[in-house]
Amino acid sequence: MQAARTARTRSLPSLPSLPSVTGALRAVETLLLAGGQRTARRNAWASVLEDRRRAKDRVEAQRVMEAVAGRASRAT
């Protein structure tokens, strides 16, 4: 009886592993968005560089304003 039960469980064929719908959608998403992610990174880096440039300009403008204010107070 034990041998018959073991034989039945061993005789079940293993099903081929099919990709899940979620896995398939993720693969398609990866293919479609690969270029978009590259563009997003490029845009983000350009934004960082622009922020740095504006900060540098702001510091320079502040120094000019302080220098002008210093001259104006000495002239008075």
- Interval 5-50: pLDDT, tens: 555 556 656 656 667 888 888 888 888 777 788 888 899 999 999 9
User: pLDDT at position 11, please?
Assistant: 61
Annotate the chain with DSSP letters as a single string: -HHHHHHHHHTSPPPP-PPPHHHHHHHHHHHHHHHHHHHHHHHHHHHHHHHHHHHHHHHHHHHHHHHHHHHHHHH-
* Cα–Cα dist 70/64, whole Å: 10
Task: State the pLDDT at residue 14.
Answer: 64
How distant, in Å, are the alpha carbons of 10, 19, 73 from that of 15?
A: 13, 12, 88
pLDDT bracket for residue 60 (50, 70, 90):
very high
pLDDT given for residue 5 in this prediction = 53
